[in-house]
Structure 1
Amino acid sequence: MIIRDYNHRDETGWVRCRALAFLQTAYFDNVLTKKEHYQNPSIELVAEHDGQIVGLIDVEYAEEQTVCSRGEGLGGMIWHIAVHPDFYRQGIGQQLLVAAENRAKKLGLNRLEAWTRNDLWVQKWYKRMQFNIVDSYYHVYFEEDELHPNYKSSIPDLYLVNTFAHYVGKNIEQFKDNKRIYECVCFEKFIFLPLNNS
């Protein structure tokens, strides 16, 4: 297996790897049909085994809070990290992260940030990789039978059937009857701390 830079010829393999990996998580319906491209500089790596993309990581980076939701200086957002299910438990995710961190350090990034839902195995992995939980909010899905009469569109003749929403309040219990509620958790890892000259 090799870890290398992503190139445009990898797109089909990248999409397949991500789709199969995400099927195992609370993001199972977050399907992409093509690879995302970023407005800011990025670190985009793939793990390849016998010509097959078996892992990937994309980190977009920028100053201040352009890409990251917190912090100061040059920070990177991990938009995608995934390992093909047939290649789980071989350390591929960790190798991709380490390779991305090494690139990030050379570029002068001081931290990485990643958001994930409440899949405990995913959260445990981030904790093992020395990330800390720093924030959270909720993803709430409303199916037709869960939509309260007060949840209406202000657009004439547009009726809500299924809805996805971000809830940043504290009273999540009001949605306890919804079938799909996920806590979306922010993990942060400082990879380089500038020397304090004081």
Structure 2
Amino acid sequence: MTEIREYRDSDAGSWLRCRLLSFFSTEYFDDVVVERPAFENPAHRLVAVDGDIVVGLMDVEIFPDRATIAVLAIHPDHQRRGLATRLLDAVLPRLSVDVLDAWTRGDAAANDWYRRSGFAEEFRYLHVYKTWQDEGVVPPEGVDRVVTAFMHAPISAEAAMRERFGRVHVCRQYVRKL
């Protein structure tokens, strides 16, 4: 039976593997971290464990006016078994704010889960990646050329960004009133 509990320092390696493998087949495939990110604000850090192995994780950072799901990841071998919902159900009673939000890209399963879980899409913008193959980014003074860049753009510029750059993602904010 998979247990939902607070993250422990001894979970670090397993937490990283779970996050990496769960992101690998999504539009966040290159959002690789080599250590668990710290938060400036209070946070709830939950894990789903099978024995001592992290198979799911949810970190929720608490701000004065809202809480934000900073990361939600389910190991590919454990997806579609209700773990994301169990993690959400475990964190909701711990929240003392009126709004929970989350940001995601175009992964159909993630977007469907947020909608099924009572979230509504509230805002969109673009994540635009410039690679060495893409033209049209002016380097700052003192830089010969921009090889790689990660940029934000308004959703209204989607067609133009897709025409100029090979990798463009719609980033969606989902909000759930509590």
Same fold (TM over 0.5): yes
- Residue 9 of structure 1, CA deviation: 1.1
Question: Which residue in the other structure is 1:179 paired with?
Answer: 166
Distance 1:24 1:171 in 2: 26
Question: Which residue in the other structure is 1:56 paired with?
Answer: 57
TM-score in terms of structure 1 length: 0.85
Question: Which residue in the other structure is 1:119 paired with?
Answer: 107
Q: Verify the 8 A CA contact 2:49 2:55 in the aligned structure 1.
A: yes
- Residue 153 of structure 1, CA deviation: 1.6
SS of the aligned residue for 2:60 comes to: strand
Give the partner amino acid of 1:190.
K
Question: Which residue in the other structure is 1:129 paired with?
Answer: 117
Question: Which residue in the other structure is 1:70 paired with?
Answer: none
Paired residues, number: 176
For the aligned residue pairs, the C-alpha RMSD in angstroms reads 1.2
In our comparison, the structure showing a higher alpha carbon Rg is 1
SS of the aligned residue for 2:92 comes to: helix
Unmatched 5+ residue regions in structure 1?
A: 65-74, 192-198
SS of the aligned residue for 1:43 comes to: strand
- Residue 142 of structure 1, CA deviation: 1.4
1:77 and 2:68 matched: yes
1:18 and 2:6 matched: no
- Residue 157 of structure 1, CA deviation: 3.6
Question: Which residue in the other structure is 1:37 paired with?
Answer: 38
Distance 2:60 2:12 in 1: 16
Distance 2:21 2:148 in 1: 24
C-alpha distance 120-169 of structure 1, shift in aligned 2 (>3 A): closer
Which of 100, 105, 108 is equivalent to 2:91?
Answer: 100
Identity %: 32
Q: For residues 79-132 of structure 1, what are the alpha-carbon distances to aligned partners after superposition, in whole Å with 9 as ceiling and x for unaligned?
A: 00010001111111110011011211xxx2211110000112210110000100
Unmatched 5+ residue regions in structure 2?
A: none
Matches within 5 A, 1:135-150: 135-148=123-136
TM-score in terms of structure 2 length: 0.94
